[in-house]
């Protein structure tokens, strides 16, 4: 599946214990999201780039994904500089861009990219299944883990149903146009997809009941914490504290 494009690999991050990676990703994202000063934000971007480089993922897909995120970030650049009050830097027609607005936009860009890159490096180097298991091991509520896992597990079923329905309408000569027949066909398609997804879910649930399901997410695989995982976790912990330290030292000045 496309969402696991980076899951197989041989880098250090691929081999690291997913539990450590999940914890690092969580706390790192939390701290980076709270950074308010530019040097700390730049440092976090640098750290994320290093993480991304050490994950050795296919460059083309990485660049494409980051570009996709930055399309949304660009949309913010069109609004925030002109809507934030402050010292005027330049005029664009009737609009005034403020220095503060540009700073805010820059901060969002840096932090957003830093968080996305770090999460790509830390999380997408594990399969969804390992991530779900590590969440369960980290005592995340079982219901949430199951929701996460089944959402992923049945996405491909929906994808499959969708593909089959598309084939069925194609062999009967359907060509998408801008007309009422096309819209109606797509509406039927989406409607049927919901119905089928619901029924499939119902049947799967019944099959699970037949095997005695009572809400328990069984864990058969157990992770083993290696020395390198501890070292990595401590290293990342140090980096996260250092980032928070830069921020703190600036704030109390």
Partner 1 sequence: MVLSDPLIELNDIDFSYSSEAPVLRGVNFCLQDGARVALKGGNGAGKTTLFHLILGLITPSAGSIAVMGRRCSREEDFVHARRHVGLVFQDPDDQLFCPTVVEDVAFGPLNMGLRSAEALERAEDTLDALGIYHLRDRVPYRLSGGEKRLVSVATVLAMKPDVLLLDEPTAGLDQSVADRLIQVIRSYPCKGLLLISHDPGISSALTNRAFILKNHNIEEDSGSPE
Q: Which is nearer to partner 1, 203 or 226 (by Cβ)? A: 203
- Closest distance to partner 1 from the beta carbon of 166 (Å): 19
- Closest distance to partner 1 from the beta carbon of 199 (Å): 10
Q: Which is nearer to partner 1, 78 or 160 (by Cβ)? A: 160
Q: Which is nearer to partner 1, 102 or 131 (by Cβ)? A: 131
- Closest distance to partner 1 from the beta carbon of 202 (Å): 9
Q: Which is nearer to partner 1, 144 or 234 (by Cβ)? A: 144
- Closest distance to partner 1 from the beta carbon of 125 (Å): 17
Q: Which is nearer to partner 1, 14 or 200 (by Cβ)? A: 200
Residues at the site binding partner 1, with contacts judged by CB under 8 A: 129, 150, 153, 156-157, 200, 203-204, 206-214, 216, 218-220
Q: Which residues of 123-155 are buried (b: 16+ CB within 10 A; e: fewer)?
A: bbbbbbebbbbbbbbeeeeeeebbebbeebebe
Per-residue DSSP letters for the chain?
-GGGTTS---SHHHHS-HHHHHHHHHHHHHHHHH--SHHHHHHHHHHHHHHHHHHT--HHHHHHHHHHHHHHHHHHHHHHHHHS-SSEEEEETTEEEEHHHHHHHHHHHHHHHHHHHHHHHHHTTS-HHHHHHHHHHTT--HHHHHHHHHHHHHHHHHHHHHHHHHHHHHTTT----SSHHHHHHHHHHHHHHHHHHHHHHHHHHHHHHHTT--S-----------HHHHHHHHHHHHHHHHHHHHHHHHHT-
- Closest distance to partner 1 from the beta carbon of 218 (Å): 5
Q: Which is nearer to partner 1, 201 or 245 (by Cβ)? A: 201
- Closest distance to partner 1 from the beta carbon of 148 (Å): 13
Q: Which is nearer to partner 1, 82 or 148 (by Cβ)? A: 148
- Closest distance to partner 1 from the beta carbon of 132 (Å): 8
* Cα angle for residues 108, 114, 118 (degrees, 5° grid): 145
């Amino acid at each position: 599946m496309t969402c696991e494009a980076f899951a197989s690999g041989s880098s250090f991050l691929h081999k690291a214990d997913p539990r450590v990676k999940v914890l690092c990703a969580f706390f790192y994202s939390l701290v980076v999201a709270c950074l308010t000063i530019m040097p700390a934000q730049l440092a976090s971007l640098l750290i994320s780039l290093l993480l991304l480089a050490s994950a050795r993922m296919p460059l083309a897909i990485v660049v494409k994904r980051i570009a996709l995120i930055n399309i949304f970030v660009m949309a913010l650049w069109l609004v925030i500089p002109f809507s934030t009050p402050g010292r005027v830097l330049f005029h664009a027609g009737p609009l005034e861009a403020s220095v503060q607005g540009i700073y805010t936009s820059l901060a969002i860009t840096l932090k957003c990219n830093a968080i996305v890159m770090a999460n790509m490096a830390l999380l997408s180097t594990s399969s969804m299944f390992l991530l779900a298991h590590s969440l369960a091991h980290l005592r995340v509520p079982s219901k949430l883990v199951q929701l996460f896992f089944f959402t992923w597990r049945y996405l491909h079923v929906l994808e499959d149903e969708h593909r089959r329905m598309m084939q069925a309408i194609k062999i009967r000569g359907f060509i998408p146009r801008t007309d009422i027949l096309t819209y109606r066909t797509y509406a039927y398609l989406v409607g049927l997809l919901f119905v089928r997804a619901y029924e499939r879910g119902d049947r799967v649930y019944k099959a699970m009941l037949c095997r005695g399901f009572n809400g328990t997410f069984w864990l058969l695989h157990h992770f083993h914490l290696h020395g390198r995982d501890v070292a990595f976790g401590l290293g990342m912990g140090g980096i996260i504290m250092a980032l928070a330290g830069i921020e703190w030292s600036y704030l109390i000045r």
